[in-house]
Structure 1
Amino acid sequence: MRILIIDEMHESIVPLLEELGHQVDYKPEVDRKGIIECVGGYEGLIIRSKTKMDQELLEKATNLKFIGRAGAGLDNIDIDFLDFKNVQLFHAPEGNRDAVAEHAVGMLLVLFNYFNRADQQVRKGIWRREENRGEELSGKTVGIIGYGNMGQAFAKRLSGFDVEVLAYDKYRTAYGDKYAAESSWEEIFQKADILSLHVPLTTETRNFIDIALLEKFQKPIYFINTARGELISFDTLNEALQEKILKGAVLDVLENEKFGTMTQAQQLSFEQLAQRENVLFSPHVAGWTHQSYEKINQVLAQKIKRAF
């Protein structure tokens, strides 16, 4: 098959696909207009998130047999239209799940132990031990929402910390394992000290973490979001932190990650969030390690090989 790659990928992707007998055109510089003009000549399309795979574009892909998404999220793709056109869709959460899990644990430990503040103080010759007295993860209860690739990997990484892990997944049954107990929202509301999100962005999950939901927790919690920023708004985070419903937050993703396109209200709300010492940010890099960059290619190549 002829395969078009429209985003920056690890250099291994081209030889991996060529070894399977495919003809590969690597064009990460191509813009949306260029994609629409040429996509009809390809049977395969490999993407990240540069442009929406919407009906306008997909209608031009008259010979398309598959799309490979180099990553986990599918919110940029018109899945219903792909089903209608009988186009297969592959994504690669197996490639970056370990990176996401390690990142989530790492950021939580940084937040608990004031690593950022302590490091900056010592660099300036400031020695404040009591101010930087940390919090132990051991003995706490972690609630995981969404127990797929990412949720399972996170639970596995927590297994050495002497924590209780409760997992809730609306779309699975009998998913409890040695790393997490199958649970309900009600049990998580009762017991959780930490809440971590591992669900995709859909019409159902957009802004589903709101104040009404957070108020159901029986004690203040720490919050982790390495999934999608649109699951919770800046305003909800600020209100929950102000009211001490949340003790702290770890955010690898934001409601709007394009700072230049923020509304005035979003900008003000983000600035308020950014002033809080109990909030820790990273720029959507939880799954963005050197190793995951290559592993994603391997996962996609194997899925394409099995399908064709």
Structure 2
Amino acid sequence: MSTNRVLIIDEMHLSIISLLESRGWLVDYRPDIGRSEILEILGAYVGMIIRSKTVIDRQLIEAGGALKFIGRAGAGLDQIDKEFLIERNISLFHAAEGNMDAVAEHAIGGLLAVLNKLSQADAEVRKGVWRREANRGVELQGKTVGIIGFGNMGSAFAKRLQGFDVQVLAYDKYKSGFGTSHVQEVSLNHVFEHADILSIHVPLTFETANFLDQSFFRQFHKPIFFINTARGELVSFDTLNWAFDQGILKGAVLDVLENEKFQTFTSEQQASFARLADRLQVVFSPHVAGWTVESYEKINQVLVQKISQEFNY
């Protein structure tokens, strides 16, 4: 076993290979490898680079007896047994900084689309329907935007809002002292009371799964537009439909869904998603907010830099 072999198990921008090799790592790029083969060969590697092909659980970690690090080419860490990695003294790196700008721009684009009814207007004009009054938009200027979660993604979104003359409120359960002249650090209740728009930027954990339930949305003092570019499991289809029916939601930007594999929908999910998909006030995208041409490569640069800083390659 070489002391500097790295296994890449997911498809990535090919720059990852040269970036690692230029720092002395021996790279095996195996994007088509399956879990059973990973388990068989992982013991020969000190590092593994992943996206989301397979769960990084105790079984897989134990198979990598020589592992010194795992690198996640992206932001989410919900499929990784982080506690067991700590127990085994295996470093974990991720690259949220690589796609935070992409996520922020996507959130802005989706918000402007839903405020201005662009999906509806585009579909109608393509059919030869010219309805101006029915497609009258709402301006972002002057609105109060609430952000929950002020890490890489939330702060990047707040930065992109600076040119729109809005009030930005931010709440983060695990951070404080981040307020600026543009961002007001507030309590969650303050967000509930004042927000016209809500954008979620929290990771998926046991604490946040289905965090956005009916009791959460009931606390808003006025109808809101909702943006979710974080994780779909934070809020169910049923809750979103309920919030629309109650008049709590005026529109939604959804880059993520509670279940993103349509073929595995339960009958209840099928029915609930169909209701959601019929709503013209919803703008969907297929979990691509952080998946731009630029971020695909920037993620590699961030990840390799972090690995190199710790292991001196």
Q: TM-score range by the shorter chain?
A: over 0.9
Q: Is 1:226 the counterpart of 2:229 in the alignment?
A: yes
**Cross-structure match for 1:27:** 30
Cα distance between partner residues in 1 of 2:234 and 2:95: 21
Amino acid at match of 1:151: G
Q: How many residues were matched structurally?
A: 308
Aligned match for 1:79, one of 68, 82, 86: 82
Cα distance between partner residues in 2 of 1:38 and 1:18: 20
Q: Is 1:284 the counterpart of 2:287 in the alignment?
A: yes
Cα distance between partner residues in 2 of 1:26 and 1:123: 44
Give the deviation of 1:179 after TM superposition: 3.4
Amino acid at match of 2:105: E
**Cross-structure match for 1:15:** 18
Q: Is 1:303 the counterpart of 2:303 in the alignment?
A: no
Equivalent residue runs for 1:1-308 within 5 Å: 1-308=4-311
Normalising by structure 1, report the TM-score: 0.99
Report the secondary structure of 1:59's partner residue. helix
Cα distance between partner residues in 2 of 1:122 and 1:189: 37
Cα distance between partner residues in 1 of 2:89 and 2:244: 46
Cα distance between partner residues in 1 of 2:286 and 2:300: 22
Cα distance between partner residues in 2 of 1:296 and 1:254: 23
Q: Which runs of 4+ in 1 moved over 4 A?
A: none
Cα distance between partner residues in 2 of 1:150 and 1:205: 16
Give the deviation of 1:237 after TM superposition: 0.3
Give the deviation of 1:127 after TM superposition: 1.6
Give the deviation of 1:114 after TM superposition: 1.2
Report the secondary structure of 2:226's partner residue. strand
Cα distance between partner residues in 2 of 1:86 and 1:80: 10
Give the deviation of 1:124 after TM superposition: 2.5
Cα distance between partner residues in 1 of 2:255 and 2:187: 25
Task: Could you tell me which runs of 5 or more consecutive residues in structure 1 were left unpaired when the two chains were aligned.
Answer: none
Cα distance between partner residues in 2 of 1:213 and 1:120: 33
Task: Could you tell me which runs of 5 or more consecutive residues in structure 2 were left unpaired when the two chains were aligned.
Answer: none
**Residues 267-293 of structure 1 deviation map (CA, whole Å, 9 limit, x = unaligned):** 111111111111111000000000000
Amino acid at match of 1:213: F
Report the secondary structure of 1:172's partner residue. coil
Give the deviation of 1:130 after TM superposition: 0.8
